[in-house]
Amino acid sequence: MSTGVPHPLLSIAPARLRPTQLSVGKAEVAAKRAEWEKLGRKKRKALLKSHCFPAVLGPGQHVYIVDHHHLGLALLEEGVKNVSVMIQRDFSWLEPAVFWRTMEFNRWAHPYDQHGNRTDYDAMPTSLTDLHDDPYRTLAARVREAGGCAKDATPYAEFLWADFYRRRFKLSRGKVGAGVMQQALLLAHDLEAAYLPGWSGAIG
């Protein structure tokens, strides 16, 4: 049994990072890739040096990141060779089922698919490239960026917002257009959204 983390800071290839959720907003990933492509060599190096992915060491000594999945996938698709990872806990000695239950208990895992449905732990992807697209996750992020709600430290807050919108309207072809944004921003201030993290109150 191992309970300590002798080497908490690692440099690891993005392809070796394992996700702790099943989906991302692929439009967000594309936006992060576009931002990366605009950076010069020095700024790219500075970004990689300043950013550290929080992670947990799991069974088989695999590294499971617990945040920043969108950036991780973007850097992987951009061909970045290594990123910095901070190991927060060593759970490598746990059986897989116990590992995932422990991760979920600590709110370090989100076993829900791109449709908002609960899944078995066996469905968790083993690579960032296996993450599915959830356009409602993109919508939730854009609503926050537009000031519809406040950024909140609650784990998986934007997935809660995504499910809120998922139950209220359909996205045509999975696209987030101007009309959808207008509707979503109005709903963000509805009293029905008051239970969501970052809700900024009703208008009027």
Give the CATH number, domain containing residue 29: 3.90.1530.10
Tens-place pLDDT, residues 127-180 = 999 999 999 999 999 999 999 999 998 999 999 999 999 999 988 888 888 899
* 80 and 124 assigned to the same domain: yes
Exposure string of 119-137, with b = 16+ CB inside 10 Å and e = fewer, is: eeeeebeeebeebebbbbb
> How far out from the chain centre does Cα 23 lie?
8
Task: For residue 6, give both structure tokens.
Answer: 């002798």
CA distance 169 to 158: 17
User: Average of pLDDT values for 70-87?
Assistant: 98
* 97 and 181 assigned to the same domain: no
The number of folded domains in the chain is 2
CA distance 22 to 146: 25
Q: Which of 131, 152, 167 is the last residue of a domain?
A: 131
* 90 and 48 assigned to the same domain: yes
- In this prediction, residue 174 carries a pLDDT of 82
Give the CATH number, domain containing residue 157: 1.10.8.10
> Model confidence at 4, in pLDDT bands (50, 70, 90)?
low
Q: Is residue 203 part of a domain?
A: no
Q: Is residue 1 part of a domain?
A: no
Instruction: Quote the pTM value.
Output: 0.92
Q: Is residue 97 part of a domain?
A: yes
Backbone φ and ψ for 114, nearest 5 degrees, come out as: -70, -5
Amino acid at 98: V
* 123 and 150 assigned to the same domain: no
Tens-place pLDDT, residues 24-74 = 999 999 999 999 999 999 999 999 999 999 999 999 999 999 999 999 999
* 141 and 125 assigned to the same domain: no
CA distance 95 to 29: 32
Domain assignment of residue 76, given as a range: 9-131
User: Average of pLDDT values for 13-20?
Assistant: 98
Tens-place pLDDT, residues 93-136 = 999 999 999 999 999 999 999 999 999 999 999 999 999 999 99
* 101 and 156 assigned to the same domain: no
* 121 and 31 assigned to the same domain: yes
- In this prediction, residue 7 carries a pLDDT of 63
Beta partners for residue 52, in sequence order: 84
* 43 and 78 assigned to the same domain: yes
